[in-house]
Amino acid sequence: MTLKRRNFLYLLGASLGAAGLGIYPLEDAAWAADPTKGPFTLPPLPYPYNALEPHIDAATMQFHHGKHHATYINNLNAAVQKYPNLQGKSIEDLIRNLNSLPEDIRTAVRNNGGGHINHNLFWEIMGPNGGGAPKGAIATAIQSNFGSFDILKKQFNEVGAKRFGSGWVWLVRTKGGKLQVTSTPNQDSPLIEGNYPILGNDVWEHAYYLKYQNRRADYLNAWWNVVNWDAVNKRFEQAKA
C-alpha cells in the first residue's frame, strides 16, 4: 500500500471517523455529512494548530480538532435530529440532564455530547505562551485545597496515568465548593456527577499518540506548559456562579 493511499484515507477520515468514534453507523449519519445543518457546530480553534508546539504538535491538533472533535459534533447532531425540542438546548443542558433525554439517544449524547463539551473546555484552557505557575484566584484556591501547585500536579499526573483505556483527568469544583482531582472514562463529563470541570487533560491515545506514542506520562508532564491560567481563572469564576 502506497503513501498516496494512506493520505487518501486520512482525507476520508471525517466521514469514516463518524462511525469509528461515535456510535452511529454511517447510514444513520446522513446529516452528519454536513455539520452546518445541525444545531451544534465546531468552534474554531482559538489559536493556530502549531501554537502549542513543541509540547503538542500541529498534526495532533489538526486531527484532534478537525477530525475527532468534528466527529463528536456530527454524531451529536445526528442523535438530536429527530428531537426538535432538544435542538435549542445548550450542550451543558443536555449533559447535565442525561436522564431526562429519550432513552434511544441517551448513550449517543453521553458519548458524543460529552466529547463535544470536553473538547470545548480542552481547547479553551490551553494556549500559546501558557504554562508556568497558576495565578489569580485559582492559585490561591490550589494552595488552600492541595497545599501547593506541585502537589496538585503530582496528583493530577498520577490519576491521568492510571486511567485505564480512554478518558480524562480533571480538576473540578465539587458541589461543596472544594477543588478535587478526578477522572472519567471515555467521554463522560464531570457535569454528569455534578462536578464543574475547571481544568482537564485528555488521555485518549489520540491526544498524544503521534508525538508521545505509549509514553503517556511524558505527555502528562509536558502538557502543563500549555495551560492558559487566565482561561482557567475564567472557568473557576463560572464554577462559582
Partner 1 sequence: MAFEQPPLPYAMDALEPYGMKAETFEYHYGKHHKAYVDNLNKLTADTDLANKPLEEVIQTSYKDGKAGIFNNAAQTWNHTFFWNSLKPGGGGGGTPTGDLAAKIDKDFGSFDKFKEEFSNAAATQFGSGWAWLVDDGATLKVTKTPNAENPLIHGQKPLLTLDVWEHAYYIDFRNARPAFIKNFLDNLVNWEFAAANLAA
Q: By the criterion CB under 8 A, which residues form the site for partner 1? A: 1, 6, 9-10, 12-13, 16-17, 19-23, 25-26, 63, 67-68, 71, 111, 164-167, 185-187, 204-206, 209-210, 213-214
Q: In angstroms, what is the minimal distance from the CB of 163 to partner 1?
A: 10
- Beta bridge mates, 185: 167
Q: Closer CB to partner 1, residue 196 or residue 212? A: 212
Q: Closer CB to partner 1, residue 17 or residue 35? A: 17
Q: In angstroms, what is the minimal distance from the CB of 214 to partner 1?
A: 4
| Grid cell at residue 222 | 509536558
Q: Using alpha carbons only, give the angle 116, 120, 124 rounded to the nearest 5 degrees.
A: 170
Q: Closer CB to partner 1, residue 84 or residue 164? A: 164
DSSP 128: T
199 phi, psi to nearest 5 deg: -150, 140
Q: In angstroms, what is the minimal distance from the CB of 106 to partner 1?
A: 13
Q: In angstroms, what is the minimal distance from the CB of 217 to partner 1?
A: 12
Nearest to 38 by CA among 12, 16, 18: 18
Measure the CA–CA gap between 194 and 169, rounded to whole angstroms. Answer: 16
40 phi, psi to nearest 5 deg: -100, 135
Q: Calculate Rg over the CA atoms of the chain.
A: 18
Q: In angstroms, what is the minimal distance from the CB of 109 to partner 1?
A: 12
| Grid cell at residue 143 | 494552595
Q: Closer CB to partner 1, residue 64 or residue 173? A: 64
Q: In angstroms, what is the minimal distance from the CB of 3 to partner 1?
A: 11
Beta-strand ranges (E) seen in the chain are 167-173, 179-185, 196-202
Measure the CA–CA gap between 232 and 64, rounded to whole angstroms. Answer: 21
Q: Closer CB to partner 1, residue 70 or residue 232? A: 70
Q: Closer CB to partner 1, residue 81 or residue 112? A: 112
